[in-house]
Chains A and B, each alone.
Chain A
Amino acid sequence: MNEKQLLSVSFIFSLIGILIILLISYVFQPELYKISELSKENVDEIVRVKGNIESFYETPGLYLINLVDDSARITVVVFKENEMNLVEGELIEVKGSVVEYGDEIEIIAKEVVL
């Protein structure tokens, strides 16, 4: 075996690796929870929740969204990267990490799908 042969084989396997990673990135999703299922045991975990915007507040650096589903209510913190067009009552899906704030749990959003 010489360099050319080894590099050809490694190129092919690398390509297979990256194609499968691409495939995974389409199907890889954190688990979808109902808000009432979240507890302090989920702190630091990346989760998905779906719910309606009950109300929201905008500060210069972030949005605070009160999200409700048919089970409970939770505060979602979204750090401002872009302006968001939020509408009360709208159904959104949030992907983010669960954090403890005071005595409550909140979600720090990484992705909000309107």
Chain B
Amino acid sequence: MPKKLFYEILIVTFLGVLAGIFTGLIPGVHINMVSILILSSSPFLLNYFSPLSLALFIVSMSITHTFLDSIPSIFLGAPDSGLELSVLPGHRLLLDGRGYEAVFLTIVGSFFAVVIALFFVPTLIPMLEHGYPLIEDYVAYILIAASVILIWRESKSRSKSLMVYLLAGLLGLGVLNLPLEQPLFPLLSGLFGTSILIVSLMAKTKIPEQRITYPKLEIKETLTYLGLGFIASLLTGTLPGLGASEAAIMSSSIKKKNKPEGFLILLGSINTFVMVVSFISLYAIDKARNGAVLVISKILLEFNFSYLFLFLFASLFVAGVASFLALKISKIFSKVMSRVNYAKVCMSVISLIVILVFLLTGPLCPDSQHTFGNYNWVDGDWKESSYGMSASPSYSVLFTLSV
């Protein structure tokens, strides 16, 4: 008979998958937000669940999220914070009646990202353990260099890019200093969700009849994009402030003549690679590079190899389940989207985001004290964090730059 622990793992994994469907499909709702809500309610939740279960819930939610968040970004034109780059290639296929194929490509990227990352774990751990101390003192310079590269590659509008970069920095500083419990939710859903929905509404986008088509993938080309994604994720998984979109821009610059199909594989793979690599980084260099992993480190206190091993294979299991779910949900979207009134769908999503903003930042917030931002639960009290978590201004700066 399987042990009680096995059932517990299965139950929390499935609950995490359900939460990942929710965060993945609703634009603007991010796993960091749910993770921080779990951390803030952990004194209560720990009466019923073990710390391992809570952490595993976050792991399966995070992995599922990376498989599903391409669906709204492609079908609704409302990308999530890590996927704003997929709007162009994804929409190009959508407007060609191949929205399902676009989602299929991101799923191929995401799924093989988990398999490849797992395959390279024995190499990655010593590489991070020995490589990170060599660059640790130069992280700030590397980030400045990355910002310069991202601005410089906008060859036709460098001054505008610099202006956007500085404005985004000011926006980040301003918003994070507002007396709000959840400043990131209204910030990110406004920047990446509502804005694009409003543009879609104004453009009176008409979604053509969708067909179920499959990409003609050449193995060599697919592997090239997966390889690029893997290298880029090593940067974002170890350095603070860099996200999936910045990684995609930089890695796609390496390869000339990017096809939209290849770019979608790249974007899907980076999104998932970053998540898996961040688990490995937490173990190898004790650094949490996104909000979800930071919460895992706070819940588990000590992140040992057994936890990493379990999380990686739970990710593999979840990757299969999430691929199935993402393909089925995407098929439903394909059938429904051309028949429904696109303007009404956009309006409904905007209304949902507005309601969620009021619920999560207003008086109905479950924890009215420091549930987000740079605060952590330490020694029975919320204390300001010294971690470079995703709430840092640099994150907002680089994120907004990539729009």
From 1 to 55 in chain A, residues with beta carbon under 8 angstroms from any chain B beta carbon are 1-3, 6-7, 9-11, 13-18, 20-22, 24-26, 28, 44-46
Known A-B contacts A6-B111, A13-B115; A21 and B323 likewise in contact (beta carbons under 8 Å)? no
B32 CB, min distance to chain A CBs, angstroms:
22
Known A-B contacts A21-B310, A28-B5; A10 and B317 likewise in contact (beta carbons under 8 Å)? no
Number of A-B contacts (CB under 8 A): 85
B310 neighbours in A (Cβ, 8 Å): 21, 24, 28
Asked if A46 and B50 sit within 8 Å, CB to CB, the answer is yes
B301 neighbours in A (Cβ, 8 Å): 44-45
Asked if B323 and A10 sit within 8 Å, CB to CB, the answer is yes
B323 neighbours in A (Cβ, 8 Å): 6-7, 10
Q: How far is the CA of A45 from the CA of B50 in the complex (A)?
A: 10
A111 neighbours in B (Cβ, 8 Å): 4
Question: Is A110 an interface position by the 8 A CB rule?
Answer: yes
Question: Is B214 an interface position by the 8 A CB rule?
Answer: yes
Question: Is B155 an interface position by the 8 A CB rule?
Answer: no
Question: Is B306 an interface position by the 8 A CB rule?
Answer: yes
Asked if B2 and A10 sit within 8 Å, CB to CB, the answer is no
A44 neighbours in B (Cβ, 8 Å): 51, 301
Question: Is B217 an interface position by the 8 A CB rule?
Answer: yes
With A7-B323, A46-B50, A97-B50 already in contact, 13 other A-B pairs whose C-beta atoms are closer than 8 Å: A1-B214, A1-B215, A7-B327, A14-B320, A14-B321, A17-B314, A17-B315, A18-B10, A21-B314, A24-B309, A25-B6, A28-B310, A45-B302
7 A-B pairs closest in CB distance? A14-B320, A17-B317, A17-B316, A25-B6, A10-B320, A10-B323, A25-B5
> Interface residues, chain B, CB within 8 Å of chain A?
2-6, 9-10, 46, 50-52, 104, 107-108, 111, 114-115, 214-215, 217, 301-302, 306, 309-310, 313-321, 323-324, 327
Of the A-B pairs whose beta carbons lie under 8 Å apart in the complex, a sample of 28, sorted by A's number, is A1-B108, A1-B214, A3-B104, A6-B104, A6-B107, A6-B108, A7-B324, A9-B111, A10-B323, A10-B324, A11-B320, A13-B111, A13-B115, A13-B319, A14-B321, A15-B320, A17-B313, A17-B314, A17-B316, A21-B6, A21-B10, A21-B314, A24-B310, A25-B2, A25-B6, A28-B306, A44-B301, A46-B51
> Interface residues, chain A, CB within 8 Å of chain B?
1-3, 6-7, 9-11, 13-18, 20-22, 24-26, 28, 44-46, 97, 110-111
